[in-house]
Amino acid sequence: MSELLANLNNEQLQAVTLPPQHALILAGAGSGKTRVLTTRIAWLVHTGQVDPQGVLAVTFTNKAAKEMLARLGTMLASGVGHSTRGMWVGTFHGLCNRLLRAHWKPAGLPQTFQILDTQDQLSAVKRLCKQYNVDDERFPPKQLVWFIAGCKEEGMRPADVPVRDDDTRKKVEIYQLYEDQCQREGVVDFGELMLRSFELLRDHADIREHYQRRFRHVLVDEFQDTNKLQYAWLKQLVGSETAVLAVGDDDQSIYAFRGARVGNMADFLREFPGVSQVKLEQNYRSHSNILDAANELIGNNSQRLGKNLRTDQGAGEPIRVYESPTDFD
């Protein structure tokens, strides 16, 4: 056990060994958040606080999920023969797919449903536009795909979309036609994976309670990148005995253009009882000239939760500013 915790700094150690309660880990860039997440899971399993099948961990990329599983496999093997078998570790979409495969019938899907990638989705919308003589200059298929995806990220079916003008009314009609077509063909797009599994948990108390009992520890990476629906989906999995550990950095929230909602971090602090906060401020990636400049700049953002990165790596090269007259330069 001491080997597991040996190379952690004080902040990382505090985050890894927190009691089983809700926690927000504010992890600055280069502060070792993946190490904290994986060590936290290994520590919980090694100390007998949770069985591997009681863990659900959400990452944002398949690469991060694979890396986490590989690291966990090594950490757990060195203990008392635990393995990652039974753990649910993956992306939001990967975990939702797993959920829908297990409960396809109550989710209203065929057992062998297929997943549309973005190109398939665009082709499906183009086909609809042709079939229903939609003016594709006024309603470009690519923009219709974005509209549908945006509605789903907000948790809205066609009937839920507020209609304020004729253009929106037409888009909602196409959204409904697209939904009907997908249902007939037994296919789901990425947005549908999330929305359908959220509705499955929301509308079926028996399924929801089963997973709330099963997952005692829910851990979320890159929490600042979650959108409204992903946060709502997570809340469905949290029972009275579930501890959520969210790791994120509001200073690195750059995906608002694709639906990410940094406000989820403030909502988490407000909506979950007794959330502990730990700040990881020791940076292992950069020199202090870069960090001091970044701290000075980001300090002007009055909406942030606040932290100050530091490093032991020395000053490094001075920062140079280059101003160019054009993007080609």
The DSSP secondary structure of 59-110, one letter per residue, reads: ESSHHHHHHHHHHHHHHHHTSSS--STT-EEEEHHHHHHHHHHHTTTTTT--
Q: What is the mean pLDDT of residues 157-177?
A: 95
pLDDT in tens, 29-39: 888 888 899 99
Q: By CB neighbour count within 10 A (0-12 exposed, 13-18 middle, 19+ buried), where does 297 fall?
A: exposed
Which residue from 230, 265, 243 is spatially nearest to 96, judged by alpha carbons?
Answer: 230
Q: What is the mean pLDDT of residues 167-193?
A: 96
Stretch (H or E) spanning 111: none
Which position has the higher pLDDT, 85 or 78? 85
Q: What percent of the chain has pLDDT over 90?
A: 72
With beta carbons less than 8 A apart as the criterion, state whether 16 and 5 touch.
Answer: yes
- The interaxial angle of helices 166-185 and 118-131, nearest 10 deg, is 110
**Cα Rg of the chain (Å, integer):** 22
Which residue from 256, 238, 254 is spatially nearest to 246, judged by alpha carbons?
Answer: 238
Q: What is the pLDDT of residue 302?
A: 72
CA–CA gap between residue 152 and residue 173 (Å, rounded):
15
What is the chain's mean pLDDT, rounded?
Answer: 91
pLDDT of 109 above 80? yes
pTM (2 d.p.): 0.89
With beta carbons less than 8 A apart as the criterion, state whether 259 and 287 touch.
Answer: no
SS3 content of the chain, % helix, strand, coil (to 5): 50, 10, 40
The listed range with the strongest mean pLDDT (190-199, 257-266, 301-310) is 190-199
User: 68: which 2 tokens?
Assistant: 């986490």
Q: What is the pLDDT of residue 76?
A: 86
pLDDT of 283 above 70? yes
Q: What is the pLDDT of residue 81?
A: 64
CA–CA gap between residue 113 and residue 124 (Å, rounded):
16
pLDDT of 7 above 80? yes
Q: What is the pLDDT of residue 170?
A: 95
117-121, 169-173, 209-213, 263-267: the lowest-pLDDT one: 263-267
102-111, 154-163, 315-324: the lowest-pLDDT one: 315-324
CA 224-307-318 angle, 5° bins: 105
> Torsion over CA of 142, 144, 150 and 154, rounded to 10 degrees?
-160
Question: Tokens 């470009």, residue?
Answer: 140
CA–CA gap between residue 122 and residue 125 (Å, rounded):
5
- The interaxial angle of helices 190-203 and 205-214, nearest 10 deg, is 100
pLDDT of 25 above 70? yes
97-111, 169-183, 278-292: the lowest-pLDDT one: 278-292
Q: Give the confidence band of 1 by pLDDT, cuts at 50, 70, 90.
A: low
| DSSP at 318 | P
78-82, 183-187, 217-221: the lowest-pLDDT one: 78-82
Q: Give the confidence band of 216 by pLDDT, cuts at 50, 70, 90.
A: very high
